[in-house]
Structure 1
Amino acid sequence: MNENKVLIVDGMALLFRAYFAQSYSARRLEDGTPTNAIFGFFQYFFDAVNQFQPTHVVCCWDMGSKTFRSDLYSNYKANRPSAPEDLIPQFSLVKDVVAALQIPNIGLEGYEADDCIGTVSKRFSNLGHVYVLTGDQDMLQLVDERIHVIIMKKGRSNYAVYDLDFLKVDKGIHPFQVIEMKGLTGDTSDNYPGVKGIGEKTALKLLSEYESIDGILSNLNLLPKSIKAKIESDLEMLHLSRTLARINIEVPIECSFDECLWEVNLESATMLFEKYRLTSLLKMIG
């Protein structure tokens, strides 16, 4: 029997990408409800299913902006603009269509989709090879022997698939160092600063030499004076940034492996796909 292959979809990453790729499209239902992002979402989704041929599929979602990270740091993601007006009604509709394909929708108040993805990845990697479909480089910290991260690139069916080797070749780091990098450099898209004045190049050099933030802190006296001073004056933010960057892999979510089996009931899916005028996509189900 072939080994199980689990595809874990970062729902928001796909939906936002689809919205901006399809924003020129005027797809709407009769009542005026926009469906352009949903249409694009399932194009991306079926592309990935056809390419990676999973036996199991699950979709993870953010559940509102308040999470344990915003409790730790009030400016966390505070720079994010509101979702486009046209996209808002599509948030719940897309989940209905995902559910019609008998794919579990997973999300938990207080946690980000990343945390749910991390938890499910680690749990299911004992049962098969896991592939995480996302556009978010933070997910690279999850890579291990049995977890691959598929970063969506520009255009359809264009992926960078990270395993341990490719991560080392492409980024020059090990998975745990993704977190250490963010501790040092911060993350502009999530709006936390790291250590003021330390960029990617310096962070990479420090990590290749001392492996981790703890290693760097144990060897502060060996560092060039200017770098030592930067780190010392921003110690609190260094530790906080590392905490914000770390994906929580112990989220209390319920999801059994069998629920995630990829078996489309075309009859029930067709009804909903017709209702949302998405039937042309069903031919993509191999």
Structure 2
Amino acid sequence: MNEVRPTVLLVDGMALLFRAFYATSYGGYIMKTSAGVPTNAVFGFIKYFWDAVQRFQPSHIVCCWDMGSKTFRSEQFTEYKANRIECPEELIPQFELVKEVTSSFGVVNVGVHGYEADDCIGTLSKSYSEDAQVYILTGDHDMLQLVSERVSVVIMKKGQGNYAVYTPETLLEEKQLKPEQIIDLKGLMGDTADNYPGVKGIGEKTALKLLIEYGSVDGILENLAQLPKGVRTKIESQLDMLHLSKNLATIFCEAPVACALEDCFWELDRSAVIEKFEELEFKGLNRLLG
């Protein structure tokens, strides 16, 4: 008889929280408690989170968070994420509030100073996938590098409950890439959201074509003589930035984060959640719990 594997949901907390904030504030109205505490992002986060729980039915859940803007990547490249707009004032108090809410759901919160949530997710997914099926809930396509036979990346698409679930097969089918090639793609084309340039003058179309033909950045560099002169010149003149960009794009899967599988077993205490909902004046959310 086949043993039933545990199912772990790794939640990219920041991705859900920011998505929820902008989805619920675009009209200019920010939901607040009667005491004036903004709660719109937390409210939206809960709806996204609960929808994913219903869809993927995890036995274990961990929520991963960034712990400040300074990480080992910003030490390697001072411009890393330097283009990010200042955090909206109404969102700031919701960072801690949302962790209180996830805790009330019985979910473990994880974060490590000096590392991004991505690195925590990468490290934990690698560890848990030895014994469990892992789903990573995010909006960040960089996470596709973590896809494996036992790790699926769930990209949230526009509209609640709309997901693209990537396995090695669907990734290859849709993007013509293997998980490790996502890193090479970012190294070549850069990432405007994270503010590293890759090889200037090489966009996604050219990068994809090169990777399909030569397999990797190393394969491309071994065949520089075969490339069109313009492409070759761009790569040769920006080799250092190519390697640095590839390094910045790589999710570090040896972060100093530990959470044993048995410690993130998920069991909902309905009364604890309802108490938190009442505190935040989320009257309409009780019905979510059934």
TM-score relative to the length of structure 1: 0.97
Aligned match for 2:275, one of 237, 246, 271: 271
Q: 1:251 aligns with which of 245, 251, 255?
A: 255
SS at match of 1:156: coil
Match of 1:226 among 230, 237, 242: 230
- Larger CA deviation: 119-128 vs 132-141: 119-128
Cα shift at 1:82:
1.0
Aligned counterparts of 1:251 and 1:279: Cα–Cα separation in 2 = 39
**Distance (whole Å) between structure 2 residues aligned to residue 253 and residue 126 of structure 1:** 16
**Does the 8 Å CA contact 2:124/2:258 hold for their aligned counterparts?**
no
Question: What is the deviation of 1:174?
Answer: 0.3
Per-residue CA shift, 1:158-208, capped at 9, x if unaligned? 000000111011111000000000000000000000001111111111111
Matched, 1:210 2:214: yes
Partner of 2:17: 15
The separation in 1 between residues aligned to 2:226 and 2:289, in whole angstroms, is: 58
List per-residue Cα deviations over 1:33-88 (Å, max 9, x = no partner). Answer: 01011000000000000011111111000000000000000000000001111111
Partner in structure 2 of residue 140 of structure 1: 144
The one-letter amino acid of 2:121's match is: I
Q: Distance in 1 between matches of 2:35 and 2:271?
A: 25
Q: 1:65 aligns with which of 63, 69, 75?
A: 69
Aligned partner of residue 86 in structure 1, secondary structure: coil
Q: Indicate yes or no: 2:197 matched with 1:187.
A: no
Question: Which blocks of at least 5 consecutive residues in structure 1 are unaligned?
Answer: none
CA distance in 2, matches of 1:101, 1:282: 13
Structure 2-normalised TM-score? Answer: 0.96
The whole-number CA distance in structure 2 between the counterparts of 1:60 and 1:165 is 26
Q: Report how far residue 142 of structure 1 moved.
A: 0.2
Contact 1:9-1:60 within 8 A present in 2 as well:
yes
Q: What is the rounded CA distance, in whole Å, between the counterparts of 1:143 and 1:153 in structure 2?
A: 18
Aligned to 1:103: 107
Structure 2, unaligned stretches of length 5 or more? none
Change (3 A) 1:194 1:26: closer
Identity of aligned residues (%): 57
Deviations 1:72-113 (A, max 9, x none): 000000000011111110000000111111111100000000
Residue 116 of structure 2 aligns with which residue? 112
Letter in 2 for 1:228: R
Q: C-alpha distance in 1, partners of 2:153/2:57? A: 15
Give, in angstroms, the shift of residue 3 of structure 1. 2.1
Q: Which residue of 1 aligns with 2:51?
A: 47
SS of residue paired to 1:161: strand
